[in-house]
Amino acid sequence: MNLFLDALFLQAGYNAALVAIGAGLLGFAAGASGTFPFLRKRALISDAVAHATLPGVGLAFVIMVALGGDGRSLVGLLAGSAATAWIGLLVIEWIARRTRLAEDAAIGAVLGVFFGVGIVLLTVIQSMSAGRQAGLESFLLGSTAGMLLQDAVVIAIGGSLAVFTTWLMRRPMTLVAFDSDYAASMGYDVRRVDLLMMALVMSVTVVGLKLVGLILIVAMLIIPAVAARFWTDRSSRMIWIAGGIGGASGYLGAVFSASAPAMPTGPIIVLVAAAIFIFSLLFAPERGVLAAIVRHRRFQVRVHRLQGLLALAAEHPIREAYTLRLLAREGLARPDGVPTNAGRAQAAKIARDERRWDVAREVYQDAGLTGRYDGLTPIEDVFTSDEIADFDHRLGPPVAVESG
């Protein structure tokens, strides 16, 4: 516990603090940048983009060594990965637009081919005298132990630019994500907006390669956005919620890893994000599973109550045990099914409301208005008191309900 608290409050050493801050910044950038590709239903393109970075890492190393430089230069490796990731993105876009193949087929082809080429290049590099100590395999699963200040600076600058661009372009990206045809009619170039979304994904992928690796960075782009969707219906809020979830996942994952040194940081970060996703899935107030269960339960209660009152109004026996228990609990009927005075009054009101709705359908031939009736919505929530009085006038005076 002491190790955890020290790591949580950045007291576990310089390297642990640097990793926690870098992971938090990367998680925030990944969560925010992954929002619109997720809403556009193109989240898996980030997987192809991530795998397409691997050949660039290998080619950049070979070129830098051939030119007599240090093949392990982070700037050079990131530039190479960005180049091949952009090529892979353009290939996916070209295949989807110019051929009869669907986008998912294009993603699968690019992912497999580019990743295969990257593995071959890394194998060749490992056979080179300069490549044995290059440590390029860390780009597959990530390596935080050797994280330097310049790595954190790259993540901070690149991530900040990605988040700023996402916020700045949120309106066109929202329109394209939800209705690309309408966005085109408004004058937006849908193709360029799509490419911008993927470019943001690519930029976060590239800056996060060193920390969590190309395989796990995909999870950092998708999981926070998916979790954030449970908490809001507005894309402008979703950007920050997804960023917050991603940032918390990165920071806490690094803290857990620092307090248990034998645990790898990248996978722990993804597991923390997955835990937040599960919490959101279960406990989000509007879209969570428990909220849905509560709504369904309340709906069942309303249906049974209505059916029970209609049965009382028609003087029919209540055969459903749950309905009878519900009415008895509310004081509307006795356990033997005989209505109380309050139950008789409520039953008469429900029966008259049914007749009022029949009149409303005759008076208003507007399905948009009378179509709101679902059998449970009170008529007072749809029509004004004057309109209801008119319905009553057409129906005549209510029949008196005798108490037994």
Q: What is the pLDDT of residue 141?
A: 64
Q: What is the pLDDT of residue 403?
A: 45
| 3 state DSSP class of 339 | strand
Q: What is the pTM of this model?
A: 0.83
CB 40 within 8 A of CB 176: yes
pLDDT tens, position by position, 156-188: 898 999 999 999 999 999 999 999 999 999 999
Measured distance CA(260)–CA(111) in Å, rounded: 34
Which of 215, 210, 198 is CA-nearest to residue 77? 210
pLDDT tens, position by position, 345-384: 999 999 998 888 888 888 877 655 555 666 678 888 888 8
Residue 9 CB partners (closer than 8 Å, separation 6+): none
Per the structure block, which two tokens stand in for 355?
A: 């007749």
What is the CATH number that goes with domain 2-282?
1.10.3470.10
Residues of the chain with pLDDT under 50: 401-404
Measured distance CA(235)–CA(358) in Å, rounded: 41
Measured distance CA(198)–CA(195) in Å, rounded: 5
Neighbours of 282 (CB within 10 A): 13
Q: What is the pLDDT of residue 404?
A: 45
Measured distance CA(153)–CA(148) in Å, rounded: 9
Q: What is the pLDDT of residue 368?
A: 58
Neighbours of 356 (CB within 10 A): 19
Helices (H), 41-99: 45-66, 74-98
Per the structure block, which two tokens stand in for 270?
A: 């993804």
* Domain boundaries, given as residue ranges, for the chain: 2-282, 290-395
Residue 285 CB partners (closer than 8 Å, separation 6+): 231, 291
Which of 248, 226, 167 is CA-nearest to residue 37? 226
